[in-house]
Amino acid sequence: MAASPLVRREARRFHLFALPWSIGFVFFTGGPIVVSLVLSFTRYELLSSPQWVGLDNYAQLLRDPDFWMATKNTVYFGAASAAAGVVYSLAAALLLNIKVRGQAIFRTIIYMPSVISGIATALLWIHVLHPDYGLVNYLIGLVGIQGPGWLTDASWAIPGLVIMTTWTTGNAMIIFLAGLQGVPASLYEAAHIDGAGWWSRFRHVTVPMMSPVIFFNLVVGFIGSLQAYQLILFMTDGGPANSTLVLGLYVYRYAFKYFEMGYASTIAWALFFLVIVFTVIQFALARRWVHYEVK
């Protein structure tokens, strides 16, 4: 098994060039993952050293009503946000794929919110969703309907957040657009000759041909929105009445408000578990509807 000097030299260079990532893996990703798993079995309140408590934290988790509330909210927000995002971005991509003049400008405008999304636009949305002085209820009011208390009414807070996340689904739209441009025009022509209208062309050509891309965006979008909490922390901090308390935010609360690092880690692993479960479910369901073209 003696490798030649040349092979060994190349391997040494590999290690040298990969070194930034290797160090980062030990200290900032891989190492912390192991530490976090260990911490999830401890009680650790920063002032004293961690204390091994076995499965106590996990048992506490199962009895914690706020945890179940947060899990329910996470799934609700994650599913609604991913579904609304995929529907809106696919519709937008279909429009942007039509050959009309000025498409580049439309694409820039529709894509921009997703790039600039952050704390500044979250502040904007707090105002846009304001029940009395906001844009959304102003527009709804124009047709004579009294809009709800987005972000202030417990049953409307998550829908309010979903409106905002749908506004920022430009990345999925770009991926759809790339996918649409890969659907062979001959398929549409064939469908057209058979007398298919736009709906049945969409239903029987676009959807099956695009199903791997739809699946990709759905999985990525769902994984992302199950973990999202940065803007929620800023906008509602989980309120009103814990109606927007999601698991990511619950981790943050226990870690950096109550400084219970052990329990915070347990919640983080519960979130990871939830992400895996839903991803596995999606892959299982995919067999029924995702169509991979045999090449």
Applying the rule CB under 8 A, the residues between 55 and 84 that interact with other proteins are: none
Q: What is the DSSP string of the chain?
A: ----HHHHHHHHHHHHHHHHHHHHIIIIIHHHHHHHHHHTTEE--SSS--EE-TTHHHHHHHH-HHHHHHHHHHHHHHHHHHHHHHHHHHHHHHHHTS--TTHHHHHHHHHHHHHH-SHHHHHHHHHHT-TTT-HHHHHHHHTT-----TTTSTTTHHHHHHHHHHHT-HHHHHHHHHHHTTS-HHHHHHHHHTT--HHHHIIIIIHHHHHHHHHHHHHHHHHHHHH--HHHHHHTTT-STTTT--HHHHHHHHHHTS--HHHHHHHHHHHHHHHHHHHHHHHHHHHHH--PPP-
Any contact of residue 223 with other proteins (CB under 8 A)?
A: yes
Which is nearer to other proteins, 134 or 160 (by Cβ)? 134
Which is nearer to other proteins, 152 or 171 (by Cβ)? 171
The correct pick among 147, 212, 239, 240 for binding other proteins (CB under 8 A) is: 212
Which is nearer to other proteins, 139 or 241 (by Cβ)? 139
Which is nearer to other proteins, 109 or 284 (by Cβ)? 109
Which single residue is written with the structure tokens 């900032």? 28
Size of the site for other proteins (CB under 8 A): 97
Any contact of residue 28 with other proteins (CB under 8 A)?
A: yes
Which is nearer to other proteins, 100 or 143 (by Cβ)? 100
The correct pick among 47, 193, 284, 294 for binding other proteins (CB under 8 A) is: 193
Considering only residues 160 to 179 of the shown chain, the ones binding other proteins according to CB under 8 A are 167, 171, 174-175, 178-179
Any contact of residue 197 with other proteins (CB under 8 A)?
A: no
Stretch that binds other proteins, among 55-63, 154-162, 203-211, 250-258 (CB under 8 A): 250-258
Which is nearer to other proteins, 227 or 243 (by Cβ)? 227
Considering only residues 103 to 162 of the shown chain, the ones binding other proteins according to CB under 8 A are 106, 108-113, 115-121, 123-128, 130, 132-135, 138, 141
Considering only residues 255 to 274 of the shown chain, the ones binding other proteins according to CB under 8 A are 255-256, 261, 264-265, 267-269, 271-272
